[in-house]
Amino acid sequence: MEKIKIGIIICNRYHNCTGGKCLRALHQREGAFDIYKNKEVELVGYTTCGGCPGGNVEYAPAEMKKNGATHVHFATGLLVGYPPCDHLKHFAKFIPEKYGLEVVFGTHPIPQKYYLTHQNLGSWKSTFMQKTIQATLADETIRLAYD
């Protein structure tokens, strides 16, 4: 079985997050982790972005790469926070260019309470955000399970 090593970067607003939803989704291969359904996955790094504008994003992927990471996931919190992270486009260009790592947007499925709020606010209307949230969209039953 192919083994993939990944890193996760979370929004600094949630720096006290224990990662429970992300780790549960990784274990169950839900949300953005469903791309690894038939693969063994090892988490080799977990950190915050460092706060706006994401200063830690400049350095954290280097450590993840030293630990064997091939993919960096930006946690779902960066997509569902209020407002969603304004720097995601830049991160998606910077990390592959600087470190040669693949960027994946999202970790766990979007919780229902965030889904409803952002639908009402229109936060995800842009083409970029529609693409960005795609891997974390799920049916209502799964969204409720992550509330």
Q: What is residue 2's predicted lDDT score, i.e. its pLDDT?
A: 83
Give residue-wise pLDDT tens across range 45-54. 999 999 999 9
Give residue-wise pLDDT tens across range 74-133. 999 999 998 999 999 999 999 999 999 999 999 999 999 999 999 999 999 999 999 999
Vertex 113, ends 109 and 115: CA angle to 5°? 55
pTM for this one?
0.95
Q: Rounded to an integer, what distance in angstroms lies between the CA atom of residue 8 and that of residue 43?
A: 8
Q: Which fold has domain 3-145?
A: Rossmann fold (3.40.50)
Domain ranges across the chain: 3-145
Q: Rounded to an integer, what distance in angstroms lies between the CA atom of residue 33 and that of residue 122?
A: 25
Q: Rounded to an integer, what distance in angstroms lies between the CA atom of residue 107 and that of residue 8?
A: 8
- Reply yes or no on whether the pLDDT at 33 is more than 80: yes
